[in-house]
Structure 1
Amino acid sequence: MMRDSSTTDRILAVDLDGSLIRGDMIYECLWSAMALDWKAPFIAARSLSRGIPALKRRLAELGPVDVTTLPYDPEVIARIEAWRAEGGRTALVTASDQMLADQVADHLGLFDEVHGTTPDRNLKGEAKAALMAERFGDHFTYIGDSTADLACWKVSGAAITVGATAKFRAQVDGINADVTHISPPEAPVWPILKAMRPHQWLKNLLVFMPIIADHSFSALTFFQGLLAFIAFGLVASAGYLLNDLLDLGPDRAHARKRFRPLASGRLPVPLGTAMVPVLLIAGHLVALTLGWAFVGVIALYFCITMSYSLFLKRKPIIDICVLAGLYTIRIIGGGVATGIDLSIWILAFSIFLFFSLAAVKRLAELVHMRDSGRVAAAGRGYSVEDLPLTMQMATASGFVSVLVLALYLNAPDIQARYSAPVLLWGVCALLLYWVSKAVLVASRGEMHDDPLVYAVTNRTSLICILIMAALGAGAMLL
């Protein structure tokens, strides 16, 4: 239908999910509910016997969403504001629960009327089209984004699509003569890769530590280590996505984390949700090539990761212990994948060093809280009063790790493996300096959210790592 040029449409009807916001409220509620109680999805599922509308209402009740931080589409907001500036009326018409729609409308203050799903009506597709046709006739413009909106565009005076593919836009062009396409979809490749946090895969280099410590340098052990590296990477990425989905609310309230792909809406929450099982299955299939024992290690790693994301991260001290354990499991995995027996000294060194790094991570967060005037951490069990203790834990554990390394390197059987073992004492000295420097940087509020990023991007840190690697190589080769 062509819009009558002599009569400007007085109603702009706007969809919520995927149009006004870069996301889907049912997924927002699902992950918000799971962040509060991991049993929430099972509780909500009981409502399915009363239909989809009852499920949506139950999820909205179990998973309250902070509508002030949702990833609103700025171009859609601008069009609504321009429409109102010209004297037009606006309506929010959505398949999301009425309670959520009202909260969004109250926050934005841009809509004259609001229509959402109620316990007795699922306002989607044909039902939404029928409601708008009854209320507005065909003198309305509808902003939508999905195939469920095709029925609405059939009865609307004009169509505006948001973030649609070329194929989808062609469908809309075929049913509505007055179509505007905005916000061409961003290629999801980069948001997906960023959400997987490939830089965090550096942690998986720990699977090669048993090979290095045992001096088992062969093509077979390297290949086994490489497969272990990939398996841990895929499963770890699934864990990072899971953690980001559960932390959507706190991340959006964070000065830096709000730019993460899921929190910002660059990666749609439904797509992020689907990626978790895909990455998890892929990681376990790679792990299977190394035997069932390694599959068990990978499964244990993910179970601990999931437990951390669901509730352990809110337990002070325990969260630091778990993070340290996840590093150590990578070393254990490297030993299992290659069949190399692990030294208790290596495991002890790992636990103390990575406990220190995990404490540095919390220290950086507490300093940021203090500097921003906040008292308690969102989604964490810490307050700014814990800052001195956290600093002490980071320092003490880091120093103990250096002591353990020194005792390990002083053992006669270890000394016998190196042609110039004296060079290894330089590694201990540099590690002592690096740990001290990391704690100092964190206490000044200059540490990145993740100490690993600091380790591989800070100039002084990189120099220390390169010198330690050179000393280790020299101890073997000279």
Structure 2
Amino acid sequence: MPNTESAARAKPLVLDVDGTLLRTDLLFESFWAGLAKDPIGVIRATAAHLGDRARLKQELAQIADLRLDLMPVNAAVLEAAESAKAEGREVILASASDQDQVAQLAEHYGLSERYYASDGQTNLKGQAKAAALTRDFGPRGFDYAGNAAVDMQVWEHADTALVVGKVAVATTLPEGGHEVIRLPGGWTARKLLKALRPHQWVKNVLLLLPLIASHRFDLETLIPILLGIVAFSGAASSIYIINDLLDLEADRLHPTKNRRPFASGDVPIPVGMLAFVGLLALSLGIAAALNWGFFGVIVLYTLTSLAYSLKLKRMRWVDITTLASLYTIRVVAGAAAGQVDVSIFMLIFIFPVFIALGCVKRLTELTLAQGDERLPGRGYGRADRGDLLNVAGIGVFGALVIFFLYSVSDQGRVLYPDTWLMWLAMIPMAWWLIRMVMLGWYGKQDYDPIVFALKDKLGLGILMIILSLMFWAAGLWGHWFGG
């Protein structure tokens, strides 16, 4: 009489890849990695083969050349695979992903040399996968791990069903006599919110600068600017998503960024893509409702940010100039939203400030880097720290000179009659700027200097001193409090 337990153990364990063994999808991984490497090639391949998934996967896999060893893995599924191997069972990958990628994964994790995958002609998904497995192992001749409703077509032909995450249709499997093993998987809205980087929204207080500089402290000006901040926050978050999707490999090589939701697999890439579309639509809708000038600024910011994510951030010095421009655009956006005239002196002043802070951002990254090689996805290495410090110093000096020239200009004298107080404000201003540069040099601040500045208590105190002196020079304290 046959040993049924031995027969059960002899059954191979078949693993789906996307969303099952891996906490990501190789088609979308290939698309975004390819877009960062060869955007024209990816767009052409997608347009030509969008209706032919097998061919599209093959084309994108050749363009992307993924680091499959860096892909986030479902620990519970990998543990089940290791347990099956320890029992002497064959562990086989069966995936709709391209065959070259699946073969590499099988080799990397020490799984069976036999695998099932899309080959450029057949998209091995659903019924096609079920037919291939049933042909080779027979009905109920294998156990299968999957994570999606389409896997139901395979589970129906398997013996034991390993269900990753919450799959509603899988609740009917016990009725068909299948043993069901539940494994953790899926994503949460909280993780998606983290991907939007809400802590970065504080940078959009820069939209208030034109209101403060022009002394337009009225609700008619403030409310549109606050709506503009909401629109800019949506646009910025949409770009953060795109930036993270283009930077998946670089983030996985980073000591802290490897925990970001898309890099770690906590949030599926398609969810991020839908969130991008929704946030951008919300942002443009608010912008159009405010005025077309602000709408144009939002479009300019979005296009510049996309160019930065796709190419410019990998170009030495160009990336810092672009970062400074993106910060400056926020100030222009505040003026457009509130329909406030922005001084050319203000724009000329803040640009070198943001150049200095852009250098601080790179200095911080290089100081905290664990090796001397170039930063992943960037054009800088440890050897560039001295040059970055010099450029930051030039930015600080240039900002102070421009501030002085503004204080003695006709416009400056009208808005700030007590010029000597403007000169006095330059002392804490220089202190704040130099302190920010040195904190970056020693790696003692956040990777984003603007976010750090808005959480830094001493720095905020210095900024309040500067602002108070400028209000005093403008005569606002006396106007407000009757002094």
Q: TM-score, normalised on structure 1?
A: 0.93
Tell me: CA distance 1:49–1:244, structure 2 relative to 1, closer, same or farther (3 Å): closer
Contact kept? 2:70, 2:252, Cα under 8 Å: yes
Tell me: CA distance 1:469–1:78, structure 2 relative to 1, closer, same or farther (3 Å): farther
Report the residue type matching 1:67 in the other structure: L
Contact kept? 2:235, 2:279, Cα under 8 Å: yes
Instruction: Spell out, residue by residue over 1:264-298, the C-alpha distance to the aligned partner (whole angstroms, 9 max, x if none).
Output: 11111111122212111110000011122211111
Contact kept? 1:97, 1:117, Cα under 8 Å: yes
Which structure 1 residue ranges, 5 or more long, are not aligned?
A: none
Does 383-392 or 144-153 show the bigger shift? Answer: 383-392
User: Which whole-Å CA distance do the structure 2 matches of 1:237 and 1:454 have between them?
Assistant: 18
User: Which whole-Å CA distance do the structure 2 matches of 1:354 and 1:78 have between them?
Assistant: 49
Say yes or no: does 1:393 pair with 2:391: yes
Aligned to 2:447: 449
Aligned to 2:17: 16
Report the residue type matching 1:32 in the other structure: A
CA-based RMSD: 2.2
SS at match of 1:282: helix
Contact kept? 1:204, 1:229, Cα under 8 Å: yes
Contact kept? 2:227, 2:286, Cα under 8 Å: yes
SS at match of 1:160: strand
Contact kept? 2:99, 2:119, Cα under 8 Å: yes
Aligned to 1:140: 142
Tell me: CA distance 1:268–1:427, structure 2 relative to 1, closer, same or farther (3 Å): farther
The alpha-carbon deviation at position 139 of structure 1 amounts to 2.7
SS at match of 2:395: helix
Say yes or no: does 1:381 pair with 2:379: yes
The alpha-carbon deviation at position 412 of structure 1 amounts to 5.6
The alpha-carbon deviation at position 394 of structure 1 amounts to 1.2
User: Which whole-Å CA distance do the structure 2 matches of 1:297 and 1:440 have between them?
Assistant: 33
SS at match of 2:39: coil
Report the residue type matching 1:438 in the other structure: M
Aligned to 1:353: 353
Aligned to 2:481: none
Aligned to 1:460: 458
Report the residue type matching 2:428 in the other structure: L
Q: Where in structure 2 are the equivalents of 1:78-117 lying within 5 Å?
A: 78-117=79-118
The alpha-carbon deviation at position 20 of structure 1 amounts to 0.8
Contact kept? 1:363, 1:391, Cα under 8 Å: yes
SS at match of 1:116: strand
The alpha-carbon deviation at position 250 of structure 1 amounts to 0.6
Tell me: CA distance 1:6–1:230, structure 2 relative to 1, closer, same or farther (3 Å): same
User: Which whole-Å CA distance do the structure 1 matches of 2:211 and 2:376 have between them?
Assistant: 40
Report the residue type matching 1:340 in the other structure: V
Aligned to 1:404: 402
Aligned to 2:299: 299
Contact kept? 1:53, 1:121, Cα under 8 Å: yes
Report the residue type matching 2:147 in the other structure: D
Instruction: Spell out, residue by residue over 1:367-387, the C-alpha distance to the aligned partner (whole angstroms, 9 max, x if none).
Output: 334xx2232222222233222
Instruction: Spell out, residue by residue over 1:294-352, the C-alpha distance to the aligned partner (whole angstroms, 9 max, x if none).
Output: 11111111011111111111111111111101111111111112221111111011111
Instruction: Spell out, residue by residue over 1:401-431, the C-alpha distance to the aligned partner (whole angstroms, 9 max, x if none).
Output: 1332233244465455458765554543222
Does 231-240 or 7-16 show the bigger shift? Answer: 7-16
SS at match of 1:457: coil
Report the residue type matching 1:191 in the other structure: K
The alpha-carbon deviation at position 7 of structure 1 amounts to 3.7
Say yes or no: does 1:198 pair with 2:163: no
Instruction: Spell out, residue by residue over 1:161-197, the C-alpha distance to the aligned partner (whole angstroms, 9 max, x if none).
Output: 11225x344254555631121215342x222211111
Aligned to 1:243: 243
User: Which whole-Å CA distance do the structure 1 matches of 2:470 and 2:299 have between them?
Assistant: 33
The alpha-carbon deviation at position 45 of structure 1 amounts to 2.7
Instruction: Spell out, residue by residue over 1:58-86, the C-alpha distance to the aligned partner (whole angstroms, 9 max, x if none).
Output: 00001111111111111111111112122
Aligned to 2:334: 334
SS at match of 1:91: strand
Aligned length: 472
User: Which whole-Å CA distance do the structure 1 matches of 2:421 and 2:50 have between them?
Assistant: 70
SS at match of 1:81: helix
Report the residue type matching 2:125 in the other structure: K
User: Which whole-Å CA distance do the structure 1 matches of 2:471 and 2:178 have between them?
Assistant: 71
User: Which whole-Å CA distance do the structure 2 matches of 1:392 and 1:462 have between them?
Assistant: 25
User: Which whole-Å CA distance do the structure 1 matches of 2:196 and 2:112 have between them?
Assistant: 37
User: Which whole-Å CA distance do the structure 2 matches of 1:76 and 1:173 have between them?
Assistant: 21
Which structure 2 residue ranges, 5 or more long, are not aligned?
A: 479-483
Tell me: CA distance 1:174–1:349, structure 2 relative to 1, closer, same or farther (3 Å): farther
Contact kept? 1:26, 1:56, Cα under 8 Å: yes
Aligned to 1:273: 273
Tell me: CA distance 1:9–1:140, structure 2 relative to 1, closer, same or farther (3 Å): farther
Report the residue type matching 1:123 in the other structure: L
SS at match of 1:170: helix
Report the residue type matching 1:265 in the other structure: G
The alpha-carbon deviation at position 9 of structure 1 amounts to 3.6
Report the residue type matching 2:277 in the other structure: P
Does 6-15 or 46-55 show the bigger shift? Answer: 46-55
Contact kept? 2:287, 2:298, Cα under 8 Å: yes
SS at match of 1:449: coil
Does 14-23 or 399-408 show the bigger shift? Answer: 399-408
The alpha-carbon deviation at position 46 of structure 1 amounts to 5.6
Contact kept? 2:187, 2:268, Cα under 8 Å: no
Contact kept? 1:159, 1:176, Cα under 8 Å: no
Contact kept? 1:430, 1:468, Cα under 8 Å: yes
Report the residue type matching 1:38 in the other structure: P
State, as a whole percentage, how many aligned pairs show the same letter. Answer: 34
Instruction: Spell out, residue by residue over 1:193-249, the C-alpha distance to the aligned partner (whole angstroms, 9 max, x if none).
Output: 111111211121111111111111111111110111111111111111111110001
Contact kept? 2:24, 2:265, Cα under 8 Å: yes
Aligned to 1:234: 234
Contact kept? 1:406, 1:425, Cα under 8 Å: yes
Tell me: CA distance 1:111–1:436, structure 2 relative to 1, closer, same or farther (3 Å): farther
User: Which whole-Å CA distance do the structure 2 matches of 1:89 and 1:139 have between them?
Assistant: 12
Report the residue type matching 1:152 in the other structure: V
Aligned to 2:39: 38
Aligned to 2:180: 179
Instruction: Spell out, residue by residue over 1:86-116, the C-alpha distance to the aligned partner (whole angstroms, 9 max, x if none).
Output: 2222101100000000111121113453221
